[in-house]
Structure 1
Amino acid sequence: MTLNRREFIFKTATATAASTAVAAAGGLALWPNRVFGQASTGGSATPELLEDAREAPTRLGIDNRIWNWRKDAAPGAMPANYYEASLSEWPSFGGLPGDLSCEVVIIGGGLLGASTALHLAEAGVDVVLIEKDHIGSGASGRNGGQMTPGLARWEAGTMLDNLSLADARRLWRFASVEAMDVIDGLRARHHFECDRKRGHITAAVHAGHMGALVENADARLRLGDSGVKIIGRHELKDQYVKSDIYFGAAIDSTGGQVHPLALLRGMVHGFVKLGGRVYDGTQALAIQEAPGSTLVTTEKGAITARKAVVLAVHSSTFQFMPGSSTTVPFFTYVAVTPPLPHPVRELLPADMPVYDTQLQIDYYRAVRNNRLLFGGQGTGNSWSPRDVNNYLLDRIKTVFPQLEKPELEYSWSGISDLTLNGATDSRKSAGDIPVYMVHGWSGHGVAQTVRIGRAISDDLTGRNNDFTMLTRFDHAGIPLGRHISPVAIPLIKGALGVMGMINPADMVSF
């Protein structure tokens, strides 16, 4: 059976918030006065994937809580992570030149912001996109690159348990086939490459987890999705993953993998070609409603939006949202090996990415030039490169002992966030000039982020009410959510770990 963690996480997080409330101070000062909820030339070069990663310093300004590491990098240097190093140089756009006016302002240059901007530009809407650092500095340029169906942690069974059959089928299609199709359509229309590959594996680390994989495949079939095949340990090892630690797997033809920074840059490039305006190094300070418009104030000027504002800043939404946060942030880690001494196909014959079913999941896939990308862990405090590298090397040796002495060439950290009920938190304000906001991806948002960007565009242009469907989920507030993760996440993981030892056949992942 699958362990339902939502009520447990809610109680733990709420109790932790209460215990830390006295120690925290301050408030949200960026919402005064009932604040709610010519084309760019920089970045105009087509993003190009290189045959292999190059040694280079990062050109992306990143959050000071996270880091990049590269073997043999000079002390104190901040090297490019693998994704940035495996792409051609890409010029910055430059900051906002002063006060501007447009139809829609998008705050945040990640996958959500870029997808929304590009789809709106395709519909003929005048859009300005601003990014406080550089395009790809945040989670959109630092994730594992695996594309899985579902709305964050809401899989098919969760949708059936919480929605009518018709609504569950609609939401599942939105978050699965349509999400993948939107990405493929953008690639075809705007002629960019992002190492898009199809297929995904969920590998069971315990025999009891096979039942949960069967239940999920059955739930997907109930929703009209026959894209999952359940296989045993021998077929898995012979044809998919050359490892002895798994008991079987679900083979998903809908999922896949992608170079996330290439996908992001490809969308931004398409947006610029259509006349979109992009300004990086431009941080939004406040969003203020006014009669007939909404004003976005930055350090370099103000932008007046005549139709809407889209808040696509992931882990910084607390700066603009009134009331309690609905997410808890956590740190994630990814690494890439040097080119392996033997063909990576000897490890992953089908060239599909893998998630496993342990509490703290491993995820991995082959990338260019015979390298292995491997990620795992979710922590409340940021781990050091040394600790991360030791952990991931140990996991690689556990999964693939035939590598004998694996090494890492790149590793990096990132920040994601989770909601208590596992679904993304999607909102639209009620004003004449609405503010759209989505966050809470729980580490599973690559494909769905792009799909939701299209849903925002469709809502604004009146094509459909897909975004309204996403706003109907109730999300409990987490007082001091961003402050409690160093305490709450270890407590939650520890308690779930104990429960897993008592009932190892229960499948739950963090």
Structure 2
Amino acid sequence: MQINKPKFLEDVEFKASHQAQSGKEWNWIPDTRGQFPHPANYYESSLQDWHHFDALNADIVCDVLVIGGGLLGTSTALHLTEQGVDTVLVEKNRIGGAASGRNGGQLTPGLARWEAEEMIRHFGYEDAKRLWHFTSTEAMSLIDDIAARYALDLQRKQGHITAAVHEGHLVALTQGADARKYLGEDHTRVVGKHELMQHVNSDNYFGGLLDSLGGQIHPLALNRGLAYGFCQNGGKVYEQTEVLSVQERDDGIYVTTPTGVIKARKSVVMAVHHASFKLLEQHNQTTIPFYTYVCTTAPLEVDLKELLPSDTPVYDTQFQIDYYRGVSQNRLLFGGEGTGSCWTPEKTHQYLLGRIQHVFPQLQNVALDFVWSGTTDLTMNGAADSRKFGDQYPIYAVQGWSGHGVAQTVRIGKAIADDFCGQADDFQMLTSIQHQDILFGRALAPVVIPMAKSAYSLGAMVNPGKMVSF
């Protein structure tokens, strides 16, 4: 199938979204920018309108079916077709319509909330080193390799900063950098308050960690670029095709949709993150969902370089982190918070605007052009949950990203393809991480997450120098 690569507009185009509104994921723009029942968010507004794939309307057969058109699904599908596997991908909405096309776009190393220190605590040296490089150097370079191979423009920029909101947090950042060096990866440097001001013009911070390995990217362009590569290799995509059931039989895995049945002769990949449990009774509930929020300002009155002189994305060390980066046309993308119940656009607008003015009080007349919500999920131990099961045919599933995983999700997609093709056992390494089931966890999220925040707030009053990021 011939489709176009994702292509950027010179500036945003305020328009209705081509994504169907899903669950509690909403988009907001001011009335002065246009009035639409469901407006496009910043990412969709900054790209040219893209290909619409047909819905499935027949019974079909393939070797591997990938369910979900986010980063995990499109990466897995791409790497399967690169190895000659007959692959079909189905998406209930449109490519990149959920978290993969709505996140902050920051590329950070680690496996969800597991960073180098956690890996050292849970594994021996060689295994920890392997896992760290899988989720850091390999994950970052894979994205760059894919972009080069398919000549994709993804607005990829190098470098990342973790800014310390308390001087005690510099100890934890130094320990984290030391752990990374211990595992053979040396891309970090801890700096004090004055040197950090060369990168972030804010008095909020006591210093930070400069990371040349991380960076930033346009996540929806990445998602569409992966789907483009998949189609270039002969893959088939069906949008507006929701999966209703998945059943293993003697001759394959039968996947039912409203308008057709797909027989996967060899494998199914559940690239739907926290929704996996809905389709497979034996897939235990190991995650709690939560909601996140992002905004993009109108073009600022001051040059972005006055705020971010080195144009490096930032997130801080608060429990409820602020993260931000410069985007096109002198705009600031800013996100943060994680809640058990979804906030309204009005409350989110007020909160994020307040956080921007707190970090950058020198901004006198800042307005928001885009505000949107997203849904992600977290595990009890902080690492992403990777599963491989099935009685006769392998079924793969990954969930529990805690809002950290753009680069790692792409790398895990390759690991799934390599596992299926017998090329590498990286995915087996991920499945060795043990996860705790959460009884009623999903239903109790609106209660559990506020309780966890309250407990942390009390702990922070006693020991403000202890760093725990959500």
* Deviation for aligned residue 1:430: 4.1
Aligned mates of 1:189, 1:364 — CA distance in 2: 29
* Aligned twin of 1:197: 157
Query: Which whole-Å CA distance do the structure 2 matches of 1:159 and 1:226 have between them?
Result: 16
The answer to whether the 8 Å contact 1:332/1:413 transfers is yes
Q: Is the 8 A contact 1:329 1:416 kept in 2?
A: yes
Alignment partner of 1:308 is 2:267 = yes
Correspondences of 1:17-166 after superposition (within 5 Å):
40=1, 44-72=3-31, 77-166=37-126
**Is residue 2:251 matched to residue 1:292?**
yes
- Residues 226-305 of structure 1 aligned to structure 2 (within 5 Å): 226-237=186-197, 239-305=198-264
Equivalent residues of 1:328, 1:481 under 8 A apart: yes
Match of residue 505, structure 1, among 461, 465, 469: 465
Question: 1:126-182 CA distances to partner (integer Å, 9 max, x unpaired)?
Answer: 100000011111000100000100000000000001100000000000000000011
- In structure 2, the residue corresponding to 1:297 is in which secondary structure? strand
How far off its partner does 1:480 sit? Answer: 2.0
Residues 335, 374 of structure 1: 8 Å contact kept: yes
SS of the residue corresponding to residue 335 of structure 1 reads strand
Q: 1:464 aligns with which of 414, 417, 424?
A: 424
CA contact (8 A) 1:292 1:433 kept: no
Aligned to 1:8: none
Measured in 2, the distance between the counterparts of 1:62 and 1:444 equals 23
Post-superposition CA distance 1:336-364 (Å, at most 9, x none): 00111121011111111101001110000
1:116 and 1:231 mapped to 2: Cα distance?
A: 38
Give 1:481 deviation, angstroms: 2.1
Provide the rounded CA distance (Å) in 1 between the counterparts of 2:318 and 2:411: 28
- 1:91 Cα deviation from its structure 2 partner: 2.5
Distance 1:197 1:316 in 2: 32
* Aligned partner of residue 263 in structure 2, secondary structure: strand
Quote the Cα distance in structure 2 between the aligned partners of 1:463 and 1:430: 20
Which amino acid is the alignment partner of residue 466 of structure 2? D
Q: What is the SS of the residue equivalent to 1:409?
A: strand
Q: Secondary structure at the match of 1:129?
A: strand
CA contact (8 A) 1:344 1:370 kept: yes
**Aligned-pair CA distance for 1:97:** 2.4
Partner of 1:329: 289
Say if 1:151 and 1:448, in contact at 8 Å, map to a contact too. yes
- Residues 386-415 of structure 1: CA deviation (Å, up to 9, x unaligned): 110111111111110111232100010000
Pairs within 5 Å for 1:188-227 = 188-227=148-187
Q: Distance in 1 between matches of 2:10 and 2:461?
A: 44
Residue in 2 that maps onto 1:10: none
Is contact 2:5-2:152 (8 Å) kept?
yes
Contact 1:315 1:415 in 2 (8 A): no
Amino acid at match of 1:444: H
Contact 1:292 1:432 in 2 (8 A): no
Question: 1:467: Cα distance to partner?
Answer: 0.3
C-alpha distance in 1, partners of 2:21/2:120?
Answer: 39
Equivalent residue, structure 1, for 2:141: 181
* Unmatched 5+ stretches in structure 2: none
Q: State whether residues 188 and 209 of structure 2, in contact with CA within 8 Å, keep that contact through their aligned partners in structure 1.
A: yes
> Residues of 2 paired with 1:131 and 1:79: CA distance?
21
Q: Is the 8 A contact 1:62 1:138 kept in 2?
A: no
What does residue 279 of structure 2 align with? 320
Residue 307 of structure 2: which of 338, 347, 364 is its match?
Answer: 347
Given that 1:145 and 1:259 are in contact with CA atoms closer than 8 Å, whether structure 2 keeps it comes out as: yes
Distance 1:452 1:249 in 2: 29
Q: How does 1:394-405 map to 2 (within 5 A)?
A: 394-405=354-365
Q: Give the secondary structure class of the aligned counterpart of 2:37.
A: coil
Find the aligned partners of 1:114 and 1:69 in 2 and give their Cα distance.
27
1:164 and 1:322 map into 2 onto residues whose CA distance is: 34
Residue 292 of structure 1: how far off its partner (Å): 3.0
Deviation digits for residues 421-469 of structure 1 (CA, Å, limit 9, x no counterpart): 0001001114332100000000001000000000000001111100000
Q: Distance in 2 between matches of 1:278 and 1:480?
A: 34
- Kindly indicate whether the alpha-carbon contact (under 8 Å) linking 2:294 and 2:333 is maintained by their aligned counterparts in 1: yes
Distance in 2 separating the partners of 1:137 and 1:346: 33
Alignment of 1:381-420 (within 5 A): 381-420=341-380
Aligned twin of 1:375? 335
Alpha-carbon distance in 2 for matches of 1:70, 1:500:
36
C-alpha distance in 2, partners of 1:452/1:465? 11
- Which stretch of structure 1 is more off in the superposition, 278-287 or 47-56? 47-56
Matched residue, 1:432: 392
DSSP-derived class of the 2:368 partner: coil
> Structure 2 CA distance, aligned partners of 1:357 and 1:392?
17
- The amino acid across from 1:220 in the alignment is R
Q: Is the 8 A contact 1:285 1:296 kept in 2?
A: yes
Q: Percent identity?
A: 54
Whether the 8 Å CA contact 2:101–2:220 is kept in 1: the answer is yes
Q: For 2:344, give the aligned amino acid.
A: S
| Structure 1 residues 48-106: Cα deviation after superposition (integer angstroms, max 9, x where no partner) | 01121111100001313120001125556211000000000113101012100001000
4+ runs deviating over 4 angstroms: 73-76
C-alpha separation between the residues in 2 aligned to 1:491 and 1:75? Answer: 38
Between the two proteins, the alignment pairs up a number of residues equal to 468
Question: Which segments of 5 or more consecutive residues in structure 1 lack a partner in the other structure?
Answer: 1-39
Q: Distance in 2 between matches of 1:405 and 1:340?
A: 8
Please say if residues 246 and 280 of structure 2, whose CA atoms lie closer than 8 Å, have aligned partners that are also in contact: no
Maintained 8 Å contact 1:336/1:411: yes
CA contact (8 A) 2:21 2:38 kept: no
Q: Secondary structure at the match of 2:362?
A: helix
**Which AA in structure 1 matches 2:172?**
A
Q: Which residue of 2 aligns with 1:170?
A: 130
**Number of the residue aligned with 1:451:** 411
Q: Cα–Cα, structure 1 residues 74 and 197, in superposed 2: closer, same or farther, change >3 Å?
A: closer
| Alignment partner, residue 494 of structure 1 | 454
Mapped partners of 1:120, 1:114: distance in 2: 10
Distance in structure 2 (CA, Å) of the matches to 1:500 and 1:211? 16
Compute the TM-score of the two structures, normalised by the length of structure 2.
Answer: 0.98
